[in-house]
Structure 1
Amino acid sequence: MGNRHTSLKDLARELNVSISTVSRALRNHPDISPEMREKVKQLANLRKYSPNPLAMGLLKQETRMIGVIVPDLVTHFYASIISGIESLAKEKGYFILIASSNESAEKEKESIENLRKARVEGLLICLSQETTDTGHFENLLEQGIPLVFFDRVCLQGQIPTVTADNAEAAGKITRHFYEQGYRRIAFISGPEQLNISRERLAGYKAGLEACNLPVDPDLIERCNLSHDSARQAMSRLLKLPNPPDAVFGINDTVAFAVMKEIKEHGLRIPRDMGLVGFTDEFHATVVEPQLTSITHPTFEMGRKAAELFFDKIEKNAPPETIILQTKLVVRESSAKHSD
């Protein structure tokens, strides 16, 4: 046989019996004589036969595979969520297939089609930043395909979702800036259609109100979550007649780009400009100064998303929305009082 995986067909050919006879013999089916069962098992051991889970799943119309789509496979944020999903999937005897949308709505649709062709039993998805139309998700719903959203979500109430408490977290950031003595607090948001942009903007505004600070539209910028776009947004803020003295980036990628732009303008962080990120990537602790950021319970987010998936396929549970709490980790980039 060489190194090739031994199949039921191989065993059947060698014994000169049908594949179904071999399959039933291995399952101790009463229609197969004890002698034949023993003969099949001995040959299976000799040839080191092991069942192919995908082939077995296709026979039962189940593959025990779950598709997972994330915007990128580079950041620790998504890697940790995937680990959380995989941990529960493994306990349930499932495998996961991972695809990246690369922040493209078209690639997201393509990934869904590819994972469907691979016969996944359902999908766990974090939306791409370009996604505005939900038709491809509604098609999955109509076909009865189990679907769960995490972090960036849509169709809440129709599809199970797991998110962080984005508004509460953004409010924490704004109040922290105020307590450190900052008064012109800017926010660089992401694409308007994303729930994380809307929710963090609402929390930012609520935080300003709680601190009796006005909402200045000039201090609210948007970017497409890329490094260059974030730097351009920060450059626009720095050119204002009355520029900010603190900036909150919608995620750490944005915050790192902002940090570079601030430094290139000869400003010091945190003395001249406070800076806070969101998602607490590994690099937050190795940049200079270390970045204050919001930490997500990412592994828990993945576990919860997987729990919602299994609740759906095992109990046909109604759509549930889970909101997880975050933590503000204060480091050097916003600690003005300790500078």
Structure 2
Amino acid sequence: MAKRKSGHVTLSDVAHAAGFSVSTVSIVLSEAPLSRHVAATTREHIRATAAHLGYHPDAFARSLRKRSSRTIGVLAFDLSDPYCVPIVRGIHSALQSSEYLPMVLDAQTERRLFDEHLRLLLERRVEGVIVIASWVFDEANLFADVRKNSVPIVIIGRDLSARGVSSFLLDNEEGGAQALRHLAGLGHRRIAVITGPHEMFDSKPRWLGVERASEECGIALDPLLVQQLPSFGDAEHGFEGGREIAKRLVNTGRPFTAVLAFDDLTALGVVRGLAEMGIHVPQDCSVIGFDDVLPARVATPAITTIRQPLRSMGEHAAQRMLERLAAPQQARERARVHKAAPQLIVRSSTALYRKSESSKGRRKRLDSR
């Protein structure tokens, strides 16, 4: 066979090797209705030749003919964040049995990249866009460009149903309340709280849940023990923020026996920071996180957390997108918001508060500051 200009095996290559015209080969390999008029031995020979050469249909050319890319764009705010990984896997799982291929892009928590990637997805003629974005951003450009192109959109991690977008997220307020109730149920009364950055959509509702539960449990939160994570550019900043805030909390001199962290990576940072201050978890101080990402499960101690059904959220968002694409006439129907229920997962980073117990006096030191 003559050397091909492209590395891909083409219909012409198969036709040349099989000894039949390109049109006959195309009819057989595409299983067009006319293929029934081709002799069975010929069909078998063409298919065997194609398999031997490693031929695969040109999906791009087919999409041009049908004016359909069969592609769904997935725009994630930060693929380095363990929060995003199970969501993307859920999306892949839901799309696996469909004819749609996900095109995943990473905005790396940069607004500029978010806009550029969105533009790229529209240029590639994706038929739908699933956005994973729990951080707050200006939606103006997003809606203007997507809606002008009549591309359906679904969002995970934020409630944009008021803007006509079906949204999938956790009941963050209830999750925050569950975390506080767990610590209170273990007997902790002096609880430090690390809230999320102001850019994160989850920050406010989780804090509202913590406040509500503290009032229900009769616990007065010390304002000096309520610290906010700084703005961050990637997942590692959450860990470092938790580490530094843990040290700062100890240095305030205010008593506390438990820390409620914004998320699991922050909780892991808190455990590290406390250890560097000579304070052991959970012997001296209990720590609870949020999300239930993989690092929280495999850490020592394993982190007690509020679980988000992240993979399930991804699956449901993708299924919703497939429904939209299957019934485009319903594209303008009222958007829905789907709030998943949080689940408390108890592990070894939290323990009963016992004033009489101490680890070389450290519990006593924290208790009496």
Instruction: State the TM-score, normalizing by the size of structure 1.
Output: 0.86
Query: Percent of pairs identical after alignment?
Result: 26
**Hey, what's the Cα distance between the residues in 1 that align with 2:349 and 2:294?**
15
Name which of 278, 282, 297 aligns with 2:309: 297
* Corresponding position: 1:178 with 2:194: no
Q: Determine helix, strand or coil for the equivalent of 2:96.
A: helix
Shift of 1:191: 2.2
Of 6, 9, 17 in structure 2, the residue corresponding to residue 6 of structure 1 is 9
Q: Tell whether 2:351 aligns with 1:335.
A: yes
Alignment partners' CA distance in 2, 1:285 and 1:12: 55
**What displacement does 1:322 show?**
0.7
Q: Give the alignment of 1:18-29 within 5 angstroms.
A: 23-24=26-27, 26-28=30-32
- Matched position secondary structure for 2:193: strand
The partner residue of 1:46 within 45, 49, 54 is 49
User: Does 2:68 match 1:62?
Assistant: yes
Which residue does the alignment assign to 1:82? 88
User: Gapped runs of 5+ residues in structure 2?
Assistant: 358-369
Q: Deviations over 1:279-298 (max 9, x none)?
A: 12222233332211112212
The answer to whether the Cα contact below 8 Å between 1:70 and 1:128 also exists between their aligned partners in 2 is: no
Q: Is the 8 A contact 1:187 1:219 kept in 2?
A: yes
Corresponding position of 1:248: 260
Alpha-carbon separation, structure 1, partners of 2:224 and 2:180: 16
Q: Which shows bigger deviation, 78-87 or 200-209?
A: 78-87
Matching of residue 283 in structure 1 with residue 295 in structure 2 = yes
Provide closer, same or farther for how the CA distance between residues 13 and 118 of structure 1 changes in structure 2, counting only shifts above 3 A.
farther
| Counterpart-to-counterpart distance in 1, 2:159 and 2:96 | 25
Cα distance in 2, alignment partners of residues 194 and 96 from structure 1: 25
How many angstroms does 1:22 deviate by? 5.5
Residue aligning to 1:265: 277
Q: Quote the offset at 1:116 in angstroms.
A: 2.8
Cα RMSD between the aligned structures? Answer: 3.0
CA distance in 2, matches of 1:135, 1:233: 35
Deviation, structure 1 residue 278: 0.8
Distance 1:148 1:136 in 2: 15
Which residue identity does 2:97 align to in structure 1? Answer: E
TM-score, normalized by length of structure 2? 0.80
Aligned-partner Cα distance in 1 for 2:150–2:323? 14
**Of 64, 72, 77, which residue of structure 1 is paired with 2:78?**
72
**Separation in structure 2 between the aligned mates of residue 242 and residue 167 of structure 1, nearest angstrom:** 27
Unaligned runs of 5+ in 1: none
Equivalence for 1:133: 138
Residues in 2 aligned to 1:38 and 1:169: alpha-carbon distance in whole angstroms: 64
Of stretches 327-336 and 267-276 in structure 1, the one that deviates more from structure 2 is 267-276
Relative to structure 1, is the Cα distance of residues 239 and 141 closer, same or farther in structure 2, using a 3 angstrom cutoff?
A: farther
CA distance in structure 1 between the aligned counterparts of 2:223 and 2:129, rounded to whole angstroms: 39
| Cα separation, 2, equivalents of 1:20 and 1:122 | 33
After superposing the two structures, state which structure 1 stretch, 178-187 or 282-291, moved more.
282-291
Deviations 1:156-209 (A, max 9, x none): 451111111111111011011111121122221222232211111111111111
**Can you list the C-alpha shifts for 1:19-39, whole angstroms capped at 9, x where unaligned?**
667545645455x99469986
Contact 1:126 1:153 in 2 (8 A): no
Q: Alpha-carbon deviations, 1:141-161, whole Å to 9, x = none?
A: 332111111124546451111
How far apart in 1 are the matches of 2:26 and 2:283?
73
After TM superposition, the structure 1 stretch with the greater mean CA deviation from structure 2, 163-172 or 58-67, is 58-67
Instruction: Note if contact 1:103-1:128 (Cα within 8 Å) is conserved in structure 2.
Output: no
303 and 127 in structure 1: CA distance in 2 versus 1, 3 angstrom threshold: same
CA distance in 2, matches of 1:79, 1:173: 23
* In 2, Cα distance between equivalents of 1:220 and 1:58: 56
Structure 2 Cα separation of the partners of residues 41 and 176 of structure 1: 66
The residue type equivalent to 1:137 in the other structure is L
Partners of 2:319 and 2:178 in 1: how far apart?
29
Q: Bigger CA drift: 250-259 or 240-249?
A: 240-249
CA distance in 2, matches of 1:39, 1:81: 46
Gap change, CA 1:37 and 1:117, over 3 Å in 2: farther
Partner of 2:337: 321
CA separation in 2, counterparts of 1:301 and 1:261?
32
Distance in 2, Cα, partners of 1:123 & 1:132? 16
